[in-house]
Structure 1
Amino acid sequence: MKADGKRWFEEARSLLILGDGNLSFSRAVAESETNLPITATVLDSEAEFLTRYGHDRNIQRLRECDNVQLLFGVDATALPSEWAGKFHYIAMNFPHPGGKTNLRKSRLLASGIFRSVSSIMTDDSEFHLVLAQGQAGVQYNGGSPWSSSAPIHEKDTGSDENVDEGERLAFELLRQLTGSAVVEVREVKELRSMCPNPYLPNRIYRLTWQDVEVAVGKRACNKLQEELREKIQATIKERNLPLILT
């Protein structure tokens, strides 16, 4: 249940649940959304699941639900291509690489999940991903996680970014336009070059967005990116900033 009294999946036409540990989440959703077609999955094989959790009541209950398909051995980073366009909503809670918490491994896992999930989504699909505070390096503090010198983001040991004046202006402009919606700005250093006309350093950055309250699909993400680009171009022109957006 959401804060506004609505159920999370009341508008879903179908639901894929990924990596559901002991299947308690899938059971809760299945029992509350009895008319919603649900595909519940776990990474473990059924034998591994039973070794870990025993003859769990969740399996029995899910198999009693006519609206549920239960699948074992499903890797969220390598979803079957035949699932493309099959699910309206996709949900996953607290993906973890296993073992001791490691930021790099968590990021790699999150990246693999996003790539895989995006390959089966359509324009009206929604991916609902729940992360703990700081998980995979994502922070949300209800305000702006920026500083004037560099974007604040969970960093691996040894990360040390020195920004020049142009970068400082670019970061400040992004902070003003996006607030806490953008949680990371990372330069793609291997793509550094010199712009021939005018002859100036060319830098390419990758933005990482975080969505806290409303799930968005591919179409909404692309639209948001284009709107931000147009706003940046207009702001650069209005303020006569020494920046060129290519």
Structure 2
Amino acid sequence: MVDHARVLVLGDGDLSFSAALHESAPDLRMVATTFESREELLRRYACAHEHIAALEEAGAIVLHEVDATRLQTFSGGDGTFQRIIFNFPYQAFGGIKGLRRLLGQFFEGARLLLSLDGCIEVALCAGQGGTSLDGARGWAGSWRVPLLAARAQLALICPEPSWPS
């Protein structure tokens, strides 16, 4: 990962991923977000307070009530991001069509926040993506990531991992 890169992490549950990423790459300029309000986050996750404190102490920005499907209205700092990370996006309603809609809306908004040399990373379970490398679920039961990315004018690539060692 590029030193001093601007990174946006979306929907990070208890913020443990963001805290671990920032600890492994302290030069990142990170904006870590949760879908829940701060109060709800602290009520749901016992360790969230610790993660928030560690991130803020390290200089990261922590924002709450950020909806990844409405990034067109996102105001998480100035400029664009070199990396946007969305781990295991999920919504409890709408079935597979609702999940595809969620991811499509995310891609549309994230494209506006991405630097020209930037990368969007979406972590999914095996079979959800819809590529030949993805497992046996098949196109019909997948989230159809290549199609949704293309509709948002994004290209799907499979780069070598660039995480800090």
TM-score (norm 2): 0.75
Matched, 1:115 2:61: no
CA distance in 2, matches of 1:212, 1:87: 19
More RCO (CA 8 Å, sep 6+):
2
- Structure 1 segments of 4+ aligned residues over 6 angstroms from their partners: none
> How many residue pairs are counted as aligned between the two chains?
150
Partner of residue 91, structure 1 = 85
* Root-mean-square deviation (Å): 3.1
Matched, 1:69 2:61: yes
SS at 1:77's partner residue? Answer: coil
TM-score (norm 1): 0.52
2:130 to 139, 143, 150: 139
CA distance in 1, matches of 2:99, 2:120: 18
CA distance in 2, matches of 1:11, 1:91: 16
SS at 1:103's partner residue? Answer: helix
Structure 1 unpaired stretches of 5+ = 1-8, 146-151, 157-181, 185-205, 216-246
Percentage of identical aligned residues: 29
Which amino acid is the alignment partner of residue 36 of structure 2? Answer: D
Residue 88 (structure 1) shift: 1.6
Matched, 1:30 2:36: no
Residue 82 (structure 1) shift: 4.8
SS at 2:44's partner residue? Answer: helix
| Alpha carbons 2:127, 2:134 under 8 Å: kept | no
SS at 1:123's partner residue? Answer: strand
CA distance in 1, matches of 2:46, 2:89: 22
Rg comparison, structure with higher value: 1
SS at 2:122's partner residue? Answer: strand
Matched, 1:153 2:145: no
